[in-house]
Amino acid sequence: DAKTTQPPSMDCAEGRAANLPCNHSTISGNEYVYWYRQIHSQGPQYIIHGLKNNETNEMASLIITEDRKSSTLILPHATLRDTAVYYCIVGGYQKVTFGTGTKLQVIP
Amino acid sequence: NAGVTQTPKFQVLKTGQSMTLQCAQDMNHEYMSWYRQDPGMGLRLIHYSVGAGITDQGEVPNGYNVSRSTTEDFPLRLLSAAPSQTSVYFCASSYSGTSLLAKNIQYFGAGTRLSVL
């Protein structure tokens, strides 16, 4: 699986959009990008995934650059419940490693 | 449909004791894996399995054994517990571990919190 690089922490004001970046410059042409989040000590929860096109679901939007070397997870209106650690994963099959993710703090 | 079930939720062991952490899934997933998470750290892959009868090592396999005799179950064994194995253990499963194109969304259990004294 390709390696990913994420900032260790970010803050976001409640109600504003949270934009979480992820670099994955060694991604292969047919590897998906997945995003998960972990709230407090719970098990990680799947958010969204994509291959080439931008994706949106009820939780978030995923923007993948044209060269696929980076992506951004967007939480359009962050709430306090979105405070969590967000993990960007590439590949998602076989030996899946998570890294340390980005700790997002949503501030009232 | 219970998803991924881990037992026990909490466990305290003495150094040198052995135990098995149980993980079961009812989604007919081929891929299952075990992670450990130390305080303030990310998840580290211990062992994984791409199907019944097939297992392989992850990033931190030492001190742990696994086997996969059925699709549903993937137990993690600590043969001789050490204080360094104090951690939260998560089990996960996904649809397929062998296809690049498969949408391998992982589903996680609630975790087992293990303390080794």
Contact call for A93 and B43, based on CB within 8 A: no
* Cα-to-chain-centroid distance, residue B79: 15
* A81: region left, alpha or beta (phi > 0 left; psi from -120 to 50 alpha): alpha
Mean pLDDT of A5-23: 97
pLDDT band at A105 (very low <50, low <70, confident <90, very high): very high
Residues of chain A with Cβ-Cβ distance to B90 below 8 Å are 43-44
pLDDT in tens, B44-88: 999 999 899 999 999 999 999 999 999 999 999 999 999 999 999
Q: Which residue out of B87, B106, B113, B114 would a mutagenesis test of the A interface target, given it has the greatest number of A Cβ atoms within 10 Å?
A: B106
- The secondary structure of residue A99, as a DSSP letter, is B
Nearest to B37 by CA among B28, B27, B46: B46
Q: What is the mean pLDDT of residues B23-27?
A: 95
Neighbours of A63 (CB within 10 A): 16
- Predicted confidence at residue B96, as pLDDT, reads 67
